[in-house]
Amino acid sequence: MSPSTHPRTIYKTLWDDLSSQKPLVMLAGPRQSGKTVFAGRIAAKDFADVVYFNWDAEKDKRRLIGDRAFFSSEPRQNASKKPLVILDEIHKYRDWKNYLKGVYDQFAEEYQFLVTGSGRLEYSRKAGDSLAGRFFRFHIFPFTLAEFASRRKLLKDFLKDPLEDQTEASVGQTRTIFEQLWEFSGFPEPFTRGKKSFWSLWSPAYGQQIVRDDLRTMADLRNLDLVETLFALIPGRVASPLSINNLAGDLGVSFDTVKSWMLLFDAFYLTFRLSPWTERISRSILKEKKVYLFNYPVVEDEAARFENLVAVEFLRAVQSWNDSGATGFDLSYIRNKEKQEVDFLITRSNKPLLLAEIKLADETPAANLRMFQDRLNVPAIQLVKKEGVKKIYKNGKNSILVITAHRWLSSLP
């Protein structure tokens, strides 16, 4: 694997672009998705002088409380280049926004700041706008197929022809990566270890840590057993419209309680949900969303797990495009009053760009895919888990590509 295709290259490109424009960059994403390791690689490669701070380290915490500009007293090796200040988990500090505002206003000309954090960073976005205009944000996700691909498309080429397949020479490689993702998820530690026994120990500990540490502290949760029960119910609801009312009935709590817990799961990157697409965005907010997990090997149903894996691949792509400044991209699903559905729809400024249906082995385009393509007049693709599939079908003036999923997903920009 060449350096240009090494995992995290997608995010290194985002960092290079955003940090050249703003001295304060925030990096958000799920716990254990590699944010701290990624920050360390940036520091080692691009900076002669680095100050690393972690709020969870007691000595670092004492330094900041004693001297809010503690990093400015560190000696430099290169006086002509800006030092990098990495502030890890700083958002656990109650006054973190005002703190960052103060150091930005005082030191923006002298330092480059990288702030890393998990769900707390996203959850805190609603708490005021004291940092407005002072930072750029991007997201880092668990590994996806495209990070390992040798022929990943440019976004402009993908938008021009999303059905083009560029991965003929690397099918064997992408099949192996897909199988690892399928068994162990894209979280770096279980993925790189590649042992089911390790994932089986890691997975429950991961969920419990977030619920009992992050959610309880941030949201002052008291019914932890019920919150954990709700999270345990999610794998059985993956890839289907999620009824908050049904979950509330199962748990014996109110609709609003379950709704608030689900929002916390989303904010802390345990889950993500997709809304149904409508031409009027306000209408889709009222409809049931489909739920997915970042740690999708916990989903036992094969078809649901496959759709979940694809959902993470699409989410990474769409979020990276938006983070890069392309903006306006969104991922949703499409469903009509007759409950006819297509699994995914990529839009830009709410205008449909690509339909995608997910099947385990069906090589014939789904009737719903044909029907919605006729209505929306956009390219359509059917991704299958079955190996060795690549077929193109005509659907009026449009085309539908049916292809083995890992082969096409690995070319996503």
Q: Give pLDDT tens digits for 272-304.
A: 999 999 876 555 555 789 999 999 999 999 999
For the cut 90, the answer to whether the pLDDT of residue 310 exceeds it is yes
| Average pLDDT value over all residues in the chain | 89
pLDDT at residue 393, rounded to an integer? 97
pLDDT at residue 205, rounded to an integer? 92
CA–CA gap between residue 240 and residue 247 (Å, rounded): 13
CA–CA gap between residue 316 and residue 73 (Å, rounded): 39
Q: Which residue has the higher pLDDT, 69 or 129?
A: 69
Q: In this structure, are residues 113 and 88 in contact, taking their beta carbons and an 8 Å threshold?
A: no
pLDDT digits (tens, 9 = 90+) for 232-280: 999 999 999 999 999 999 999 999 999 999 998 998 899 999 999 987 6
pLDDT at residue 267, rounded to an integer? 87
**How many other C-beta atoms are found inside a 10 Å radius of the C-beta of residue 337?**
5
pLDDT at residue 128, rounded to an integer? 47
In Å, how far are 86, 155, 242, 407 from 324, measured between CA atoms? 21, 10, 31, 24
In Å, how far are 142, 263, 328, 341, 351 from 279, measured between CA atoms? 32, 24, 15, 16, 8
146-154: average pLDDT: 80
Closest C-alpha among 103, 95, 104 to residue 127: 95
Q: At what angle do helices 9-19 and 35-46 cross, to 10 degrees?
A: 60
CA–CA gap between residue 305 and residue 301 (Å, rounded): 6
> Which residues lie closer than 8 Å to 57 by C-beta, 6 or more apart?
none
pLDDT at residue 1, rounded to an integer? 42
pLDDT at residue 122, rounded to an integer? 56
pLDDT at residue 212, rounded to an integer? 82
β-pairing, 380-384 vs 398-404, is parallel
pLDDT at residue 408, rounded to an integer? 94
Q: In this structure, are residues 91 and 117 in contact, taking their beta carbons and an 8 Å threshold?
A: yes
Encoded tokens for 97: 């926004």
168: pLDDT confidence band, cut at 50, 70 and 90? low
Closest C-alpha among 218, 213, 23 to residue 127: 218
| 72 DSSP assignment | G
Share of the chain above pLDDT 90, in %: 71
Amino acid, res. 371: M
For the cut 60, the answer to whether the pLDDT of residue 5 exceeds it is no
Share of the chain above pLDDT 70, in %: 92
Q: In this structure, are residues 343 and 358 in contact, taking their beta carbons and an 8 Å threshold?
A: yes
Lowest mean pLDDT among 41-45, 223-227, 378-382: 223-227
For the cut 60, the answer to whether the pLDDT of residue 379 exceeds it is yes
pLDDT digits (tens, 9 = 90+) for 64-118: 999 999 999 999 998 889 999 999 988 888 888 889 999 999 999 999 999 998 7
Domains assigned to the chain: 3-139 (3.40.50.300), 151-409 (no CATH)
Closest C-alpha among 97, 77, 76 to residue 87: 97
Lowest mean pLDDT among 144-158, 319-333, 399-413: 144-158
Provide Rg for the chain, Cα atoms. Answer: 22
β-pairing, 136-139 vs 24-28, is parallel
pLDDT digits (tens, 9 = 90+) for 205-233: 998 888 887 777 776 677 888 999 999 99
45: exposed, middle or buried (C-beta count within 10 Å: 0-12, 13-18, 19+)? exposed
